Structure 1
């Protein structure tokens, strides 16, 4: 009977071991991606998440050598699309966009989502973060946060703030301010930030919390007065406006983040390759310029760092949701 040399025997055993590996592991180690990748964006086309997702998808296409197709799954505040990401095949061919709304606010505010963002998803990288901003109508007799808080305390229940709707970023920021300053400001929810912004400019409501890009033109035109912005440093476009952290309001210092997540059980090799490609894509000049045009701060951190950010923001939102007694179904 013929015998195999030690080298031949090792090759045979290696081949058998490879044959027994699941297809996802082989794809992760050897050929991923060998076909187009789908990026689920849990909001409708045209919004900030969609715009940022498409910018990064193009950068990823160049780095991965495969098309990255954007699939908008809007509805129910981002919960429909996020559920689709959680339930997707964990093979690296479905990735998703995760935001402050879908990964922190929704889990804190909804009674039941049917999924757990902390265990059902693997964070890959925080792509970019957009500062939030608090503005007031110029008719309000306050020039800074100190005088505004004094005014609000002197007139409990008389001032109102507009939001994009119950459970939105702007709603949670308003509740966080009330909690941090001990003020009583009435919440007026709208169906979207557009009408909320219009009524803040018109003076029907006195205060507005918003992502920076949509409110910035109104501040620059003098139609709204900025009191504070979120983030680790002041915004270049508004150098005289302090951050919430500078004002001692740390719980409002978070920014609206936009990151990449994948379903749990996605192979570690895929996560590693996707993370590396994301960081490289964020270094492309066109990607950087288009993100900066959205007033975004480019991040590109590690999976562990992004996971820590999600947990921290989720804890913040849980405190605000509990204080405001918010519960969404």
Structure 2
């Protein structure tokens, strides 16, 4: 669908969801609270704030960002799951908290599949496979060949056991038929620093965090994990283009407590999807290296469930444990 037509379609859907003035008054009745499971100023937080600003204009109510970092999203999740399912309390759900955590068997005080209702997407977060500048490879094919010739001699860094960059690299190893040792760190920044210095060989990281170092020659980017090349690095091929059959972007969605009324869900979904067509939001997302996505609640739910299934299967195959 052409972008202009799609924007018109989304805005028309939003107007239809609101209906007449009397129907619109039913929701929202007060400010909407959007819980973010991260501290302020990170990419996800900034995206949530930008989305909140756009939603506030559309819904006629302010959107208050409530940062509740801690326990891999559990702190924020607990605050939202106890709230009324009236649409006035929402949560940013991430791949780590709503897919990886249950796949890894982490004990959660709620059921991510039944205690929350997906509303729409916050966005997709492109990931990139980076190599140390000291590694004598210039492409993904060269890296795979190099690793196959040196089984057990190379390693990959991550921000910790069970994190997205750990699990995605495990997928790459399965798809490419290679095996590297895992070196978990306490955070992506520490891992990236050792990657640049040559202490470790490769790492999956967010494109947003890596872009400056890639452009500055401090990292060698071998592939993006998305289904298409990214505009920030148009000459960098995807994994699939280079023969590794894997597409896995990072992601974050918007969920509500279970029990939300269908009409309220429709209003929120239409507003989020109209925001994804807003020129200012799209421009800001591009600066943040985030891809805006306009999906229905059902599409969002299907995507999230599929990701949980993929990671659950991966954990079963690899035997990854949070305590390893």
Return the TM-score normalized by structure 1.
0.87
Counterpart contact for 2:128–2:207, Cα < 8 Å: yes
* Structure 1 residues not aligned, in runs of 5+: 1-26
Counterpart contact for 1:126–1:306, Cα < 8 Å: yes
Counterpart contact for 1:59–1:282, Cα < 8 Å: no
Distance of 1:266 and 1:165 partners within structure 2: 35
Alignment of 1:1-329 (within 5 A): 31-251=26-246, 253-328=247-322
Q: RMSD in angstroms over aligned alpha carbons? A: 1.8
Counterpart contact for 1:94–1:262, Cα < 8 Å: yes
Return the index of the structure with the highest Cα Rg.
Answer: 1
Distance of 1:289 and 1:138 partners within structure 2: 31
Counterpart contact for 1:165–1:189, Cα < 8 Å: yes
C-alpha displacement at 1:264, in angstroms? 0.9
Shifted more, 263-272 versus 182-191: the winner is 182-191
Distance of 2:108 and 2:321 partners within structure 1: 12
Counterpart contact for 2:92–2:122, Cα < 8 Å: no
Counterpart contact for 1:97–1:260, Cα < 8 Å: yes
Counterpart contact for 2:207–2:289, Cα < 8 Å: yes
C-alpha displacement at 1:80, in angstroms? 2.2
Shifted more, 280-289 versus 199-208: the winner is 280-289
Aligned to 2:15: none
Distance of 1:136 and 1:157 partners within structure 2: 17
* Structure 2 residues not aligned, in runs of 5+: 1-21
C-alpha displacement at 1:112, in angstroms? 2.1
Counterpart contact for 2:30–2:61, Cα < 8 Å: yes
Distance of 1:295 and 1:144 partners within structure 2: 22
Distance of 1:76 and 1:324 partners within structure 2: 24
